[in-house]
Chains A and B, each alone.
Chain A
């Protein structure tokens, strides 16, 4: 038997990444840059200056029609009725059991118009799910994923960088709000103050033709020169989000992990009324709450905890597993997110991570590992 290799999907900036000498990897079927100059330098640029990421692999689903709010409320766990036009919220789509289809960002474009930004690896599944679940609501679902090149400009100098390329006053756009403005001469560009780095920053959505995508990328790079801007790959994106303890689908959240376990309670509004997953989550509460919890671990002995490593108690009994683990370039510690029984979830609890057949001590620490400094 032979298998035909499936062609990797490419973003409109694929050629540019290769010309820049990026190391490319297969990320959920996408040929994406994992690093350019070096993961640590890219990570530090975002924490201290500014970096730009091609995140065009992310999906964009639009729900429009008089029944769109009803559909959004049914399909997602956060309360979209609280959103104002121009505001976004972190949310998730759940199976009836209260486990994850995907995590999403919901943007309210107008009373009858919402945008879900969804993960790359789950695009087709999500689209089918949303279409199926929106049936019965007076609402049309469209997949606009291939219409946009999405750039994330992230870091404490992101605002100053992007401000050079638009007349829109970015200081008026609050965190998790968005607006439309002219960016690099492109009118009606969606500019959202969102990101996945634990840092201030913006995500812009521009037409996905290669020439426009490359032109805007290059203008962003030029605008950021004085702030030390660097192109950043998925490697830095992962370590940045891990320091900020942001969940990654397939790691901290999945179809077999529920909202309470993942600690995403504050984005789940049971009080808004029945929605997909609410009954299952109520059932978990009625049964006494989740048996396991996501915790932050700091490895206190020498060693790096990585995805999939076993977590043990100090007697060597297996109690859980690491979902994401890495050296943290800014914090200069070895950190991990892991699921452990509730009785081990208290901050200060000592556990061990099995690193290459050796138990290495780790301690439960508060999350997030990193919080961006307040602007003074």
Chain B
């Protein structure tokens, strides 16, 4: 699956789509593929403060738990409640199945994140093929 070029990416396999001071966050297609069938998403709460590089929730597949790391610092303004009952939406389309929206504290933080091309190369290297 192609990695949207307007998103930025973390080495922990989250994507972030920035629009002005607000941003939408999810996990990458590579992440959902590595995890396998996702059965559980632990969402943050609206109003939670999240910090760049810190855990804000988790996703679980049948086999494994994986922490979610926030790509940026800010305040949660919305969460994708649909994932509570239909976590498999992430497997179906990881780049559309967003997890949270945040109000960014410092939009400049985004500049240090990976571009689509960088992330794709990084993900390939990590799987070793």
Contact = CB atoms under 8 A, between A and B. Distances in A.
Given A38-B36, A326-B62, 6 more contacts: A39-B36, A235-B62, A235-B63, A306-B65, A327-B60, A329-B62
Closest 5 CB pairs of A and B: A40-B37, A327-B39, A39-B62, A327-B62, A39-B37
B58 interface: yes
A34 B65 contact: no
B62 A40 contact: yes
Contacts, number: 31
A164 interface: no
A23 interface: yes
Given A235-B63, A304-B65, A306-B65, A38 B58 contact: no
A119 interface: no
Contacts of B36: 23, 35, 38-39, 235
Interface string B34-65: 00110110000000000000000010111101
Nearest to B63: A235
Interface in A249-289: none
A344 B110 CA distance: 51
29 contacts: A23-B36, A34-B63, A38-B36, A38-B37, A39-B36, A39-B37, A39-B61, A39-B62, A40-B37, A40-B62, A235-B36, A235-B62, A235-B63, A239-B62, A303-B40, A304-B39, A304-B40, A304-B60, A304-B65, A306-B65, A326-B62, A326-B63, A327-B39, A327-B40, A327-B60, A327-B62, A329-B62, A356-B58, A356-B65
Contacts of B39: 304, 327
Interface in B90-129: none
Contacts of A39: 36-37, 61-63
Contacts of A303: 40
Nearest to A327: B39
Interface size class of A (residues with CB under 8 A): 10 to 19
Interface size class of B (residues with CB under 8 A): 10 to 19
A318 B65 CA distance: 22
A303 B84 CA distance: 12
A34 B35 CA distance: 11
A39 B35 CA distance: 10
Nearest to B55: A356
Contacts of A306: 65
Interface string A29-66: 00000110011100000000000000000000000000
Contacts of B58: 356
B123 to A, nearest CB: 15
A34 to B, nearest CB: 7
Interface string A317-353: 0000000001101000000000000000000000000
Interface in A74-109: none
Nearest to A326: B62
A23 B129 CA distance: 12
A369 B37 CA distance: 21
B107 to A, nearest CB: 31
A329 B37 CA distance: 10
A343 B68 CA distance: 38
A306 B39 CA distance: 14
Interface string A282-318: 0000000000000000000001101000000000000
Contacts of B62: 39-40, 235, 239, 326-327, 329
A56 B37 CA distance: 26
B39 to A, nearest CB: 5
Contacts of B60: 304, 327
Nearest to A236: B62
A25 to B, nearest CB: 9
B37 to A, nearest CB: 5
Contacts of B63: 34, 39, 235, 326
A167 B58 CA distance: 52
